[in-house]
A and B are shown apart, each in its own frame.
Chain A
Amino acid sequence: MSRLPLKDGLDKTILINKFRKEGNYMLTEKENYLKILNGEIPEWIPQYNYGVLSKKVDSPINMAVRPGFLNEHRKPDGGTDIWGVRWVPTYETGNMMLPAPGEFILTDIRKWRDVIKAPDISNIDWEAMAKKDLELLNIDRSKTAIHFGTHFGYFQTVMSFMGFNEGLCAMYEEPEEVKELMNYLADFYLTIAEKLIDLYKPDIVSLTDDTASELQPFFSREMYVDMLLPLYDKHAKFGRDRGLPITMHNCGRCEDVMEDLFNIGVRGWDPAQTINDLVGIKKKFNNKLVIMGGWDGRGRLLAPDVTDEEIYESARKSINTYGPGGGYVFAGQFTGPVDDPVTIRKNAVLLDAVYELGHSFY
């Protein structure tokens, strides 16, 4: 694999490693990441990740802290969540979980009050839970940022109850019922956030909701602003009140709502997929809305025999396109079974390429 040549012919990553070995201080992954989220030019372009790391990186850039009792269903063979939805892992996606097909717990939105019951949280020892949740992360907090979110989104939660067909129809036909259900969920999750945020002392408040397909949002911006944005705003307030950066995870073509999210304080967007006009987004927000993504892993890159050089070039293209001026974190990886040697090889090449190119960029 070729390395990014510098003008003076040296390889900067070699110099960085030498610099570190000699005991010199550089920013940690966390410090560099927070610098980007605060709108400053970082020392390097880091790689946001979902668990896979380049062997050259000594600590994850960030980790999600999760209230333990909300995530007991996240087991290797799946499980049932607090609302009664059964989740199943999918081998082809590296065991990402989806609601079991066809097993929807809510078929008529008008009956949600009979079906959706928040668990009793009055006897929870929040301090003990927070301590355990943090211990489970097993990280050095000076090197790795912690982001805090309570759930995977109000839209997605309702879809997990009803399925997309009935859920989306309900949003159109019975919007008030959907809003009341979402508000009920919000009361529950906001209470938990209130209890835990100052025990976790996170570095970032994160929001999550996948409200868009590859082609377009699932529903109109008007519906988004009416139903969802006020709830996101309540979660974002935890970050605003504490001066913490706020990030949003939203897959698909969702650029139309970025300004709305920016206005409630969102400063980072992952996975910022290339189906969006990311160049336009970068131009509009400069480095005040961090693009965490910008990598297109389709086309030739999907082929099992894609070469190291082709993968390397894909990373170079992303970094050269979105890196100038700051406001960029590389995010992307090949998805596949966890034991698939092709996926493992491709990810190793990609992540090393991002490390080398990212560390040589500024």
Chain B
Amino acid sequence: MSKIDDIKSSVAAGKTKLVTGLVQEALDEGQDAQDILSAMVDAMGVVGDKFSAGEIFVPEMLVAGKAMQKGVEVLKPILSGSGAPSLGKCIIGTVAGDLHDIGKNLVALMIGSAGFDVIDLGVDVSKEKFLETINSNPDVKVVALSGLLTTTMPAMKETVEAVKNSGLTGFKVLVGGAPITPEFAASIGADAYARDAGGAAIKAKELA
């Protein structure tokens, strides 16, 4: 098995303690940093698929994300000077009135792992905050809204409407969360809906 394959399987298995060393060894062997990153992104794609299929659960996904972050930390100094491609920025947050973060965090993790630069606004995010952040990041590609509560679905609707009517362009709006359906997403004018974190990463890549 090649070093890159080792990295891939270690990320997928969430072996956080191994990944740093493996990535360094791969670099020392002369492997291209971008190839190593791509391998880790692929591994996270597999993790997302397994999560969507119910084969693994949240802890496995979280530790895989953690393992990837360890690898990225090693690559960062090299990639930052190489002009390595990013899929762009993604602004994410749980909508106003909703304090739940686990779904949003998983989506942020998977979208970040897919190659986006994630700006995580946290929970209970007002539409004004979303607009302000989009304004300060005109190169944003995806704005992702999360919501767990049925009671905050109106806040999601208001946020999407505010974003869509703001005159700001160049990005797409992705929504998801327990009570959200594709029909609801379409009805409030969102560009896309994702059922889970793995699906959100795939959808974000399509939108970017």
Q: What is A's interface to B at a CB cutoff of 8 Å? A: 88, 90-93, 98, 101-102, 163-165, 168-169, 171-173, 213-220, 223, 297-299, 302, 335-337
Contact = CB atoms under 8 A, between A and B. Distances in A.
B152 interface: yes
Contact of B150 (A102, A168, A215, A335): A335
B58 to A, nearest CB: 5
Contact of A218 (B57, B123, B152, B179): B57
Contacts of B124: 101
Given A90-B99, A91-B97, A164-B101, A215 B195 contact: yes
A336 B97 CA distance: 11
Contacts of B100: 98
Interface of B: 14, 16, 54, 57-60, 62-63, 66, 97-103, 105, 122-124, 149-153, 155, 178-179, 181, 195-196
Contact of A165 (B62, B97, B122): B62
Contacts, number: 80
B101 A88 contact: no
B59 A171 contact: yes
Given A88-B99, A101-B122, A219-B57, 19 more contacts: A90-B97, A92-B149, A93-B149, A93-B151, A101-B99, A101-B101, A164-B58, A165-B101, A168-B58, A168-B59, A172-B59, A213-B103, A213-B178, A218-B57, A218-B59, A297-B150, A298-B150, A299-B181, A302-B150
Given A169-B63, A169-B66, A215 B196 contact: yes
Nearest to B103: A213
A127 B68 CA distance: 55
B59 A219 contact: yes
Interface of A is mostly: mixed
Given A98-B99, A213-B178, A164 B151 contact: no
9 contacts: A101-B99, A164-B58, A165-B62, A168-B59, A169-B63, A172-B63, A213-B103, A298-B150, A337-B151
A91 B149 CA distance: 12
A92 B151 CA distance: 6
A36 B172 CA distance: 51
Given A91-B97, A297-B150, A335-B151, A172 B195 contact: no
A68 to B, nearest CB: 26
A297 B178 CA distance: 13
A335 B103 CA distance: 20
A171 B57 CA distance: 12
